[in-house]
Structure 1
């Protein structure tokens, strides 16, 4: 604080160096300025400004063969992303009345953001192919299904039609939110009302450019008409003309309005409470590039033009035992939604629907003083019109290639324990069991729209580990803290077909047939991508970390602290798949690493 009314805090951090993958430079800068102005005991203003910029490599996934050779290799050196963002805002708060009887706070918040970002990938972004063949017979002999007449490894660039793809975006966000917290306490019953309105506008300008290899091709021999005769001849960056008709550009001007009200009712000295609540959200998507939507039925566009969502919630709690031994029982219900996600890169389609979720949980928590705590919880989430990891797509008709929504549920049990046997020592453990199922009877398809055997009914959602375990311990002694932490995730399916086998190509279902086009026809190795996401079962992993932190010096509010952390102590080898940086293939997880940290607070 500069004086009793005004205070300023500045923060800055920089990250420079290499990521854990080979040839993966990282450059991140973050600056933050906070200010506070206490006008008087009942009125105050807080404001902040943040500037953030980054430029990092995105090594992406590897084929199974390359992963076994060197899991830290970067065979997609052109995949990278960067951007900069400015966030700023201010909050005015007024405190009124008597909080012990009738009183509360009124606040008005303004939030703004200016953001520009760009990510660059190659046209083999979704491929992890290792087969080389230049005729249908050769491709069949290499194990590919009918319909493939050529294929090259995912890291190859020396062929006509290979391209770099840039996806720059500029967005402007403005929002404001008036909010009132009102407490009414009659003695026997205490009520806390929360009511407010949030309004946000977003201008979202999206472009796509291609830098295509237009080299002269071989006139004879293997790869004639496809492989470059000499060096690559790049065209330079040009707008992507989609479907040969229009530029793949999108201008969005969207509005979001939410009105909310809740009432926390407490009785019996707080031993019983119920909190009913209701939120109404109105979302408007306004797209200024009508040509981009020429294939989409008008009824589907109307559904996302004006979206109305009512979201009720209820929280109930009861404390039957209170004192040194304390027991809390609770029940919670909440409805939420996810608006349509349009033009998703990983499969080139979109979600022309709103996802809805109803969540219920019930549980109990037992505590003994500040030494012991145990919580047991059951939850169930019903999903309606859910985009399950982009694994169910339309295979024909005007919506071909876009996500087909499904219905399903996720349910499970959560157990959590804290134990503090002596001063300064704490143990923490948690266990989760999760069961997920599809309840709709839609056709079973992979990312490319290839129809698989059976339906999606009763299948597990991909990427959900049914068994999860967390353990950590911490000991504080004087100015030193020693901690150890670990987390375990069991095996998970990588595809909606729930096949435990599959191998690298997904032997049951190698992607391709329905959506395949040659490079010469489309400028890509595949029109709707080369590889199925199916990688069989993902591996389990159990990672351990250790950390030591120390306060080296302090004087008043000035302090110097430092820490040393070893992550993945035992160098556990595991991978993911289906994530954004390259959906096909194996995405390696970090190995053992050491992090040193030094901080000066003044």
Structure 2
């Protein structure tokens, strides 16, 4: 529900320094303007001065936004439209000639105002994904869904991967119920530890090694530190690579508030059997001066996660900063320490699952890991240079030092006594640097925005496996691998705006060059692998009318060979795929939006292992195609009610090998979601959501019957329902106390997964019904 802009947050800007102008310029008068490229706040001030007008706006919503150069003759309305284009802001004209700048969506001449937005999060200006605001999502030339803070803050949402289930085409294999080890598949593209998604945190890669190991076997993200999740399934491959066949998922942090603010939150989740999981969060931050802000976040998870042998201890500490050096230069930065120590309950045999799905028969399985991460982005507005009206330079650097270890009992047979204890410690040292230049030409006939960038990533990986005989206590090194990876990428795109920018055509190309050097400390074998590829892309977006937006895109995507795949003899090249999308967004009136898209992915070079030759080879070919749709509806007669529904149909087919024509394993054909949120009695909010996922096979042969160890067999379809209620208690000095309760898996639906990494055989029980109570105090 949108709310009007409070008067107390509006600041008056009169551009000649004269606050007592007796006459205001008509919005229809023409002015000769000369505004350099700068921040939006300064551009609005300059515009008001040169046109002798009054412009009201909240400083927070304009402070960190760039604006293009503006030269020539314009009416005041035309000038405001140019300056605010693409910002998600709109100018509302008052009868006295004053203009008020507000966030919101526009339909024709009507603007629905929203509450003022806080300082923009740490997303690079000039980024094709922008700040992931609602207007940017609506006009994005590809399939895109934004999971907003309201969805994430429901107490029935256990973790960030849980929240992603409302996105059509995204499937979650919930191993722990905590979100600490996500298993995410997009459009039927699945690999253990979410290995086939490009995961980012505020635009920074999350993978342990963005090229050599894309799986999220250490996931330094906790729900309390995420403000919204941007899921982009098409059109971003040129700028964001590699490993973007299924798209990009960006976990975006809450912006640093302009005034100091502190949040204290305690969440407790209660499971049958007396098991409890506690989620404690403390966040404090704001701007210490007009141009320098800090945000400190502390988040811990402790307790049990619903099953035997599920002790959990997660610690996540992060400090972020924003320094607006002057009117044209900014520096955002952050440092994070994350540590996880968890018992893993593992899979069960069919008999044990039927007896008690909450038990664990794998007493040795556990996970531990930690990471220290640092990053920073410098941005500078360079103004007008040569033929370009606006030039912006940004430079991002990131590094992390990570460790993770899975301990398992062998054999994998779920009800067998372990004979061997295996641990697999891995160390990762990664550094990356990415400069980027955005150059814009703002012409009345044809506008252009050139984006050119480069990236260098260095990865140093120690990969060990040790096995200890439980009978003798003797430990034997099983693997001792070292990898040194160097990757370079460059990319170029040009967004061409035609028909008053209603039509945007963006051709682009990305070049990837990755080298991986492998050294086996046990056998002394050394080898290297090189992946080199040009990856073209084209996106087209057309605002046909105020109600209709159409898009289409085609892009070539790549994932380099993973470190575990280059150790065998034989040549293994990069996995390549072509992605195609077309779709439409329809907004017939304020309060209703319909998204519909069709896609196809031709994946021709998937890497598979051949037991006959003991080699990895590029022989796997699959085709993924389907439809995805979402409907967002706030009834005009009942604006307190927000409704959302989504549907995805997936046809994922194997196109090579013995089982050509069969379904791709783990790919469910149908997924349907529905959720609603109702605000009542001023401070109460009730929500209900449901999710249906159809059955799926777990092997290439599409075996329907389960074998004795449950290594194959069809996975069941399932319906899930969650519900929650929340109450706000406004206190003095604008502080707010919020209390809420939620039930996940309301009807205690029992279902299971299979093939999850360190417990690949048996039935992996999904989380059962749980009750979550939460208290949040903001002051």
| TM-score band, normalised by shorter chain | 0.7 to 0.9
- Pairing 1:169–2:455 present: no
- Pairing 1:278–2:499 present: no
- TM value normalised by structure 2: 0.60
Deviation at 1:17, TM superposition (A): 0.3
**1:177-234 Cα shifts (integer Å, max 9, x gaps):** 11112221111221111111111111111112122123xxxxxxxxxxxxxxxxxx43
CA–CA distance in 2 between the matches of 1:573 and 1:23? 19
Aligned-partner SS, 1:65: helix
CA–CA distance in 2 between the matches of 1:193 and 1:481? 45
- Pairing 1:491–2:695 present: yes
- Pairing 1:18–2:304 present: yes
Q: Is the 8 A contact 2:309 2:344 kept in 1?
A: no
- Pairing 1:343–2:568 present: no
Kindly report the root-mean-square deviation, in angstroms, between the aligned alpha carbons of the 2 structures: 2.5
Deviation at 1:106, TM superposition (A): 1.1
Residue among 412, 416, 421 paired with 2:626: 412
Deviation at 1:338, TM superposition (A): 1.4
Q: Is the 8 A contact 1:504 1:585 kept in 2?
A: no
2:519 aligned partner: 288
Change in Cα spacing, 1:456 to 1:473, as seen in structure 2 (3 Å) is: same
Change in Cα spacing, 1:457 to 1:15, as seen in structure 2 (3 Å) is: same
Q: Describe how 1:27-38 pairs up with structure 2 within 5 A.
A: 27-38=313-324
CA–CA distance in 1 between the matches of 2:480 and 2:666? 32
**1:24-81 Cα shifts (integer Å, max 9, x gaps):** 1000011111111111111111111111101001111000000000001111111000
Deviation at 1:351, TM superposition (A): 9.9
Deviation at 1:343, TM superposition (A): 3.0
2:332 aligned partner: 46
CA–CA distance in 1 between the matches of 2:393 and 2:541? 27
Aligned-partner SS, 2:318: strand
Aligned-partner SS, 2:352: helix
Structure number with the bigger relative contact order (C-alpha 8 A, sep ≥ 6) is: 2
Q: How many residues align?
A: 488
CA–CA distance in 2 between the matches of 1:580 and 1:249? 20
- Pairing 1:438–2:675 present: no
1:591 aligned partner: 768
Q: Describe how 1:290-305 pairs up with structure 2 within 5 A.
A: 305=529
1:360 aligned partner: 580
Q: Is the 8 A contact 2:338 2:372 kept in 1?
A: yes
CA–CA distance in 2 between the matches of 1:282 and 1:558? 52
Aligned-partner SS, 1:66: helix
Q: Is the 8 A contact 1:80 1:120 kept in 2?
A: yes
Residue among 266, 270, 274 paired with 2:497: 266
Q: Is the 8 A contact 2:573 2:618 kept in 1?
A: no
- TM value normalised by structure 1: 0.77
Q: Describe how 1:448-467 pairs up with structure 2 within 5 A.
A: 455-467=658-670
CA–CA distance in 2 between the matches of 1:349 and 1:343? 12
CA–CA distance in 2 between the matches of 1:257 and 1:424? 50
2:473 aligned partner: 234
Residue among 193, 208, 212 paired with 2:450: 193
1:113 aligned partner: 400
CA–CA distance in 1 between the matches of 2:396 and 2:331? 10
Aligned-partner SS, 2:322: strand
Q: Is the 8 A contact 1:380 1:412 kept in 2?
A: yes
CA–CA distance in 2 between the matches of 1:432 and 1:541? 15
CA–CA distance in 2 between the matches of 1:276 and 1:554? 53
5+ residue gaps, structure 1: 129-152, 215-232, 242-247, 443-454, 506-530
Q: Is the 8 A contact 1:394 1:404 kept in 2?
A: no
Aligned-partner SS, 1:68: helix
CA–CA distance in 1 between the matches of 2:485 and 2:600? 32
Change in Cα spacing, 1:330 to 1:197, as seen in structure 2 (3 Å) is: same
**1:439-485 Cα shifts (integer Å, max 9, x gaps):** 22x2xxxxxxxxxxxx2211110100001101111123433332221
1:2 aligned partner: 288
- Pairing 1:316–2:558 present: no
Aligned-partner SS, 1:461: coil
Aligned-partner SS, 2:519: coil
Residue among 369, 374, 385 paired with 2:594: 374
Deviation at 1:532, TM superposition (A): 7.5
